[in-house]
Amino acid sequence: MGCRGSNTAFMHFDDIKVPVANRIGEEGEGFKHFMITLDGGRISIAAMALGLAVGAYEIAAKHATKRKAFGRPIGNYQGIQWKLADMATRIEAARGLVYGSAQMKDSGQRHSTQSAMAKVYASEVCNFCTYEAIGILGADGLTPKYPVERMYRDMKLTEIGEGTSEVQRIVIARSVLKSFAD
């Protein structure tokens, strides 16, 4: 359905023996390493969501300056202006979360909560922006004439990859509750 740019396939392994020399970390620490990797992956998915949202927004904004209805560019109408304003505002908020969590990771700080926040918010912004962009483009938004229809399909991975939005909310809530219990 989506993620045409990612060559993704199902792989299944049974009874695999990994030589000690090829082991990552110590025996019994695999889950810990997996979770550390997952936190970084959440930032990558959030960045993907942000990029899709920005792409859809830019296509819609450009279209709104060129497409005319009743003799005026559709961007002159308040309904389209509000959609673009909401898209721009949400994108900037998502950008702050994505960049902030990436900066925390790069500086070696714990970033589990921030990467979960960035991922859940950016993926929901991506959903909003790709959906609204299709609306601004009208029927053309549903066709391959514009890449927004592909962006909308690709968006779904951002809501489920590296943990669903519901899982992100659990990660965030546990952190919040722990901070108030201490």
Active site residues: 162
In 3D, which of 147, 142, 124, 139 has the Cα closest to residue 45?
A: 124
Q: Residue with structure tokens 């020399």?
A: 21
Separation CA 119–CA 123 (nearest Å): 6
CA distance 123 to 131: 12
Contact 118, 101 (CB under 8 A): yes
Cα 142 versus chain centre, distance:
21
Amino acid residing at 62 = K
